[in-house]
Structure 1
Amino acid sequence: MSRPLTDTLLHPLLRHLMDGITRAGLPLMLLDADGVVVDGNAALADRLGLDLDTARGRPCADVVQGRDVFGNVFCGPDCPVLAMWREGVCLHPYEIEAHGVGEPRKVTFVPIAVKLPDGEEPMLLQVVLDPTPAQRAAEADDPDPLTPREIEVLEGLARGLSTRGLVAALHISVSTVRNHLQSVFRKLGVHSRLEAVLVARARGLVGAIPPR
């Protein structure tokens, strides 16, 4: 379990979202509109092997120093993810190799654009996942793929539906929803609904993440 994020002056809505991701044990990085690292959690420090105190206040590109699958520089002043975010384009998960944290590490970033009320500056949440399980699943014939109904359950989770919401949307019982969720968690190798949605998005099992 990750420790709580450091105390920073953030909008309560954003803090609530970040705390939920942190409680799920997922690595999280928060960026401002300029792509500067505002905050992160202990899971992020562990996953990327970085010092949060050193990372805060620096451009994400300098901290991560990502390269694409061909070894080309991905992170920099012309970051395509930041450009898409500023233009209001739907953001998709992407895989890079981080070179700014010691030994290069392959990771999948799942970006979540957050538009805050009261005219506050928008923020970008970056959830960092290990791509290895997804790579293995993509490279091999999966002996236990998700069923169409399980995909529907995942899509419902991605829309923020609760158990009762899934019951109403799919016209199935509470116990059936719970059985589907247990099966989805097992097949994706996750332990929470939030983690299931993020992994599913990273693997292309559910849709892209629209600006919020």
Structure 2
Amino acid sequence: MATGTHGIVFSTGEPAFAVDRHGVILAWNEAAASSLGYTEAEALGSNCWQLVRGKDTFGNRYCCEHCPMMEMAVRHQSPYRCSMSLKTATGTLKRYKVSTLVLFDGHDGETLIHLCHAEPGGSMNTSRVSSDSNHDANSSLGILTPRELQVLQHLADGHATEDVATLLSISTATVRNHIEHLLHKLHAHSRLEAVAVARRLGLI
């Protein structure tokens, strides 16, 4: 593990952990152990999507083998800050504001460092989240227009607003309007979250 990765993870008092491009946890600080309940020994070497099983604000599965944040990192794009619920060792979910740093290493590939700021009153029961997730998924399916789906697919492919406008032969202002509408319809707070929600719902 690179010294830089270790130094960043262990230099903050906030829960923080690092994963490689395959989702394997490389570093896990004391604050993460205290907040989430997994010891460093339990976390290291585990796949993040199997251990913390991150979900978005509405309970849709966010962490997965094909991590949208890692996909952005591979394209040398910066992941946005987002709200995420992580599973603790006791089985409950805790809400965090997650900021992600990307470290690029020519030999080992990309490393993601997740800095997690716990939200007040952010614990919830997993059974309730599962029920809410199913409800949100059912209510969200089929609500996007064909053009909004096109825009969303281009965002998922890593295209910027100007690129989407060129590809669809529309103005950047129109693209921004479509993005605003699809964010609202998917209850997402960022483009990254919208892509993640759409993938969970099978829209793209």
Give unpaired runs (5+ residues) of structure 2: 122-189, 191-204
Q: In the TM superposition, what whole-angstrom CA distance separates every residue of 1:136-171 from its partner, at most 9, and x where no partner exists?
A: xxxxxxxxxxxxxxxxxxxxxxxxxxxxxxxxxxxx
Query: Which residue is 1:104 aligned to?
Result: 93
Instruction: Please report the TM-score for the alignment, with normalisation by the length of structure 1.
Output: 0.51
For 2:84 and 2:9, locate their aligned partners in 1 and report how far apart those are by CA, in whole Å.
23
- Where do 4+ consecutive residues of structure 1 move more than 6 Å? none
Relative to 1, partners in 2 of residues 1:84 and 1:20: Cα closer, same or farther, differing over 3 Å?
same
On the 8 A contact 1:62/1:100 being kept in 2, the answer is: no
Q: 1:118-197 counterparts in 2 under 5 A?
A: 119-132=107-120
Relative to 1, partners in 2 of residues 1:55 and 1:17: Cα closer, same or farther, differing over 3 Å?
closer
Equivalent in 102, 118, 121 of residue 113 of structure 1: 102
Instruction: Please report the TM-score for the alignment, with normalisation by the length of structure 2.
Output: 0.53
Query: Which residue is 1:165 aligned to?
Result: none
Question: In structure 1, what residue type is equivalent to 2:53?
Answer: Q
Query: Which residue is 1:73 aligned to?
Result: 61
Q: Does residue 1:60 correspond to 2:43, yes or no? A: no
CA-CA distance at 1:11 after TM superposition = 2.8
For 1:91 and 1:119, locate their aligned partners in 2 and report how far apart those are by CA, in whole Å.
22
Query: Which residue is 1:176 aligned to?
Result: none
Query: Which residue is 1:88 aligned to?
Result: 76
For 2:19 and 2:110, locate their aligned partners in 1 and report how far apart those are by CA, in whole Å.
9
CA-CA distance at 1:100 after TM superposition = 5.1
On the 8 A contact 1:95/1:131 being kept in 2, the answer is: no
Q: Quick check: which one's strand share is greater?
A: 2
For 1:67 and 1:14, locate their aligned partners in 2 and report how far apart those are by CA, in whole Å.
24
Q: Does residue 1:20 correspond to 2:11, yes or no? A: yes
3-state SS of 1:46 partner: helix
For 2:88 and 2:74, locate their aligned partners in 1 and report how far apart those are by CA, in whole Å.
25
For 1:13 and 1:72, locate their aligned partners in 2 and report how far apart those are by CA, in whole Å.
32
Relative to 1, partners in 2 of residues 1:38 and 1:12: Cα closer, same or farther, differing over 3 Å?
closer
On the 8 A contact 2:97/2:117 being kept in 1, the answer is: yes
For 2:54 and 2:108, locate their aligned partners in 1 and report how far apart those are by CA, in whole Å.
29
Q: Does residue 1:33 correspond to 2:21, yes or no? A: yes
For 1:15 and 1:52, locate their aligned partners in 2 and report how far apart those are by CA, in whole Å.
13
Q: Count residues with an aligned counterpart.
A: 121
CA-CA distance at 1:38 after TM superposition = 0.9
Q: Percent identity?
A: 21
For 1:86 and 1:132, locate their aligned partners in 2 and report how far apart those are by CA, in whole Å.
33
On the 8 A contact 1:66/1:73 being kept in 2, the answer is: yes
